[in-house]
A = this chain, B = another copy of it.
Amino acid sequence: MVGMRDVAKEAGVSLSTVSLVVNDTGYVSDDMRERVAAAMKKLDYIPNELARNFYRDRTDMIGVIVPTISHPFFSTLAAALQHELAGRGYRTLLCSQADAEGGEAEYVDMLQRHMMDGIIMAAHTSHAPDYWTLIDRPVVAFDRYLGAGIPSICSDHVHGGQLIAQQLIRTGARHVVSIGGPRSQFHDLPAHLSSHSLSQSARSNVSLGSDGVNTTFPTVRYYLTLEHELGQAAIRYDYVEVGEVYDVQGYPRIAHEIFERFPDVDAIVGSDISAAYCVQEALRRGARIPDELQIIAYDGSYLTEAAGMRITAIRQDFATIAKLTSERIIEEIGKGEKGAAGKGARGSASSQSSGAVRRRSGNADATVPSFTDEGGTEGQGYQPDSHPQGELVPVQLRLGETTRA
């Protein structure tokens, strides 16, 4: 292996001169520069980034954790994130929870061991908030609540739920079935409000904004909103559970089941994949879409375009999500940098202080929601674990062939 030392010898200059040329830092005379360049070319020198990273204590790699890549929503999200991060000089280490031996923990480990500069967490986690809070290195969540002080970016699911409800109410739907994850995820945080049962949460006057929902999983806000609005309009509503996102078998089975269990269903709402299977099942049964049956997908990935019919969808704004999330994680990484005053420093206290900086300000931001649909509920003092919220990314209803005008 040819190293800087060899280049220096070949060019007849000192090691540091070579380093300066390689990194294009500081002042080097043209003469030196050329001699070094020539030597590098001659010896075919390639810098060892491992050494550089070691010294800098940075890898310019950011981990992106998703439940599974083989799901159109997450592959689209991952692509958008990689694109955005690449534009900002970062590499993406994509982790598909389902395909990693140790799940997300393995990646958190890499983060702690300095193999990554930060993590974007877009998967469900079974770990308690403490786990995340104690990590003390940059973490940003997408559509998840990981604990006080961990910034999070979310799609505006309350609005998503409203848009669906409006569409269905306006077109006279009478029996809506919605497909979603395990209902237990709806309230997986210690609650001061215990609206556990379907009927209760659907009908009770629970506020769906910054209080009333105690989950690590903000997506449920769309179900809750939908249930609430349909309840108000006295439209029959049923919720059907599918398994985890990576339960590939579950989708076709559920589609079949819905038609068996609810012969009079006239509107189905579910994630892109669920919706696609429902279109398929409906076509097979000869149900007339959208006259007899409307289908609305939640997510709006490419699958909604290729599922036999263009499916009307709530479209999450992948580009904006990726942009905000990337900005945020890089900001967090920056904070860590500043905390450590000069890398050569004795080092023992620096990471602690930087962690404190990061966490404090992360906390401040994360607890100031920027809701579009409601205001004035924040600022009522600190409430541990109560419905924290991050920046909200607007969603959009994109009309396809599966809904009525």
Residues of A whose CB lies within 8 Å of any CB of B are 1-3, 6, 46-51, 53-54, 57, 59, 61, 68-72, 75-76, 78-80, 82-83, 86-87, 91-96, 98-101, 106, 110, 112-115, 248, 251-252, 273, 276-277, 279-280, 283-284, 301-303, 305-310, 347-348, 350-351
Closest residue of B by beta carbon distance from A3: B347
CB distance from A78 to the nearest CB of B (A): 6
Instruction: Please name all residues of chain B whose beta carbon is closer than 8 Å to the beta carbon of A277 when the two chains form the complex.
Output: 306
Structural contact, A248 and B302, CB atoms closer than 8 A = yes
CB distance from A1 to the nearest CB of B (A): 5
Structural contact, A113 and B46, CB atoms closer than 8 A = yes
Q: Could you pull out 22 A-B pairs where Cβ atoms are within 8 angstroms?
A: A1-B347, A46-B112, A47-B113, A50-B50, A68-B79, A69-B69, A70-B79, A70-B301, A72-B72, A79-B96, A82-B95, A83-B99, A86-B101, A86-B106, A87-B101, A93-B93, A93-B94, A248-B302, A273-B306, A276-B308, A280-B310, A308-B309
List 19 additional contacts besides A48-B113, A48-B114, A277-B306; criterion CB under 8 Å: A1-B347, A1-B348, A49-B113, A59-B115, A69-B79, A69-B82, A71-B75, A72-B72, A79-B98, A82-B99, A83-B98, A86-B101, A92-B93, A93-B93, A248-B302, A273-B306, A276-B307, A279-B308, A280-B310
Known contacts A69-B79, A75-B75, A113-B48: A307-B307 contact under CB 8 Å:
yes
Instruction: Please name all residues of chain B whose beta carbon is closer than 8 Å to the beta carbon of A347 when the two chains form the complex.
Output: 1, 3
Instruction: Please name all residues of chain B whose beta carbon is closer than 8 Å to the beta carbon of A115 when the two chains form the complex.
Output: 49-50, 53, 59
Copies of the chain in the assembly: 2
Structural contact, B75 and A100, CB atoms closer than 8 A = no
Instruction: Please name all residues of chain B whose beta carbon is closer than 8 Å to the beta carbon of A114 when the two chains form the complex.
Output: 48-50
Structural contact, B308 and A283, CB atoms closer than 8 A = yes
Instruction: Please name all residues of chain B whose beta carbon is closer than 8 Å to the beta carbon of A61 when the two chains form the complex.
Output: 93
State which of B1, B71, B303 has its C-beta within 8 Å of the C-beta of A350: B1
Closest residue of B by beta carbon distance from A308: B308
CB distance from A403 to the nearest CB of B (A): 16
Of A68, A69, A276, the most chain B CB neighbours within 10 A belong to: A69
Instruction: Please name all residues of chain B whose beta carbon is closer than 8 Å to the beta carbon of A303 when the two chains form the complex.
Output: 303, 306
Instruction: Please name all residues of chain B whose beta carbon is closer than 8 Å to the beta carbon of A72 when the two chains form the complex.
Output: 70, 72
CB distance from A115 to the nearest CB of B (A): 5
